[in-house]
Chain A
Amino acid sequence: MTDLHPQILAILQNIADVKSPLSVGPDDSLFDAGILDSFLLPGLVTALEKAFGIKIPDADLSSQRFETVNRIAEYVRSRS
């Protein structure tokens, strides 16, 4: 699979309803950066499932798994 970061950043930008492209490092906490919070996480999961054609099982629904762009990319790759 190709570099997933641009696609993930676009999803995050849409979920967070931000107009300008996100400025966040691949290992920066999306929570600390104010991009994600508890109530955006369910929407992120749904968007990732739709965008990448994957199923994210309940057992994988822990916040740490989605804390950074790199972790999200690693997870998506593991499910693809």
Chain B
Amino acid sequence: MTTATAGQPAAFLVHVACYLPARVVTSAEVAAARGVDPEWIRTTSGIEERRYGAPDETAETMGIEAARRCLAGAPDASIGMVLMSTGSASRRWPGPATTVATALGLGSVPALDLPMPSAGGVSALALAQALAPLHGDVLVIAAEKMSDIVARPDTHPNVAVLFGDGAAACIVSARRGVARILGSVLHSDGAFADALHLPVDGPLHMDGRTIIMQAARKLPQVILEVLDQHAIGLSAVRMFLLHQANLNLLRQVSKTLGVADEVVFSNIRGYGNTSSASALIALAEWDGLSALETGAPVVLAAFGAGLQWGAVLLVRA
């Protein structure tokens, strides 16, 4: 377990933005293509639509677009590092971070990859809290083109229909921002690596039942862990922004925590599971930080392949 707490220099979330490709793919369309009942998709996952990138779009290009939008909203940022998470890069190596940094005109700043699906965006944000005081403003990018991965015909239909494409980016600074990153907790457990994995040359495999069992326990635990570290009660949290894997899982987490469904943000109906990008897309779409009073807490949390899971605690600055 790694924790980042109040003992380290301050880091702030400056701005966040997202990019969703234009093509809307309904559950009816994907269900027909995969031989799945669209009503099963809705009741099992809460997903009604997802976005698919155009043939010439990649995780890299979507990450660049999200980053450009983010940088446009923070003209005073001086980027000293890029952290990029994706589980759907267009090549095995080099990873997309350097390509994205160069496309953004960021010169020779260190550009590091986190080849992590699912929890990658939240993990990158947690790392940025620690790295911003050392490297300057950190540009965090999470981008996924999951539609390319699930396009393989040997992907199980019930898995293929869950995913969508998208990207988000945020800037973390040691100087100032709309919210302070108060702390984070990251965990991993390789014992269940096979329960959700993408082979080098094979279809995405997901033992959904095991993954749901693990996530339904670990997500509430890690949320409580990061809140306990800062003596903040659950009822004080204004919004929980979780990895958008499945609406039923989000409802299970809110039930376990004993919080209202309304404070657990959900946009999975329109985007499906955008893997590592989903929690940061949720943060960008929610757009509620600036309306909060100073000190109001918000929690981001994610769980997925690895297993990797974690939570980041923000408070309105």
Q: Which chain A residues lie closer than 8 Å to B216 at the CB level?
A: 41-42
Q: Which chain A residues lie closer than 8 Å to B189 at the CB level?
A: 58
Give the one of A37, A39, A59 with max B CB within 10 A.
A39
Decide yes or no whether A75 CB sits under 8 A from chain B: no
> Which residues of chain B in 258-294 are interfacial with respect to chain A, using CB atoms and an 8 Å cutoff?
none
Q: Which chain A residues lie closer than 8 Å to B214 at the CB level?
A: 58, 61
**How many whole Å from A23's CB to the nearest CB in chain B?**
22
> Which residues of chain A in 29-80 are interfacial with respect to chain B, using CB atoms and an 8 Å cutoff?
31, 37-39, 41-42, 45, 58-59, 61-64
**How many whole Å from A14's CB to the nearest CB in chain B?**
16
Q: Is the CB of A61 within 8 A of B217?
A: yes
Q: Is the CB of A63 within 8 A of B217?
A: no
Q: Is the CB of B212 within 8 A of A38?
A: yes
Total contacts A to B, CB within 8 angstroms?
A: 44
**How many whole Å from A4's CB to the nearest CB in chain B?**
20
Q: Which chain A residues lie closer than 8 Å to B78 at the CB level?
A: none
Secondary structure dominating the interface of B: helix
Q: Is the CB of B212 within 8 A of A62?
A: no
- Given that A58-B189, A62-B192 are contacting pairs, would A42 and B217 also be in contact in the complex, using a CB cutoff of 8 Å? yes
**How many whole Å from B143's CB to the nearest CB in chain A?**
27
Cα A58 to Cα B191 with chains together (Å): 10
Interface size on B, residues (CB 8 A): 19
Say which size band chain A's interface belongs to.
10 to 19
- Given that A62-B192, A63-B207 are contacting pairs, would A41 and B217 also be in contact in the complex, using a CB cutoff of 8 Å? no
Q: Which B residues are within 8 Å of any A CB, using their own CB?
A: 44, 189, 191-192, 195, 207-210, 212-214, 216-218, 248-249, 252, 256
What are 9 of the A-B contact pairs (CB < 8 Å)? A31-B209, A38-B208, A38-B209, A39-B248, A42-B213, A42-B252, A61-B214, A61-B217, A64-B210
Q: Which A residues are within 8 Å of any B CB, using their own CB?
A: 31, 37-39, 41-42, 45, 58-59, 61-64
What 19 additional pairs, Cβ within 8 angstroms, besides A38-B209, A61-B213, A64-B210?
Answer: A37-B209, A38-B213, A38-B248, A39-B248, A39-B249, A41-B212, A42-B217, A42-B252, A45-B213, A58-B217, A58-B218, A61-B210, A61-B214, A61-B217, A62-B192, A62-B195, A62-B207, A62-B213, A63-B213
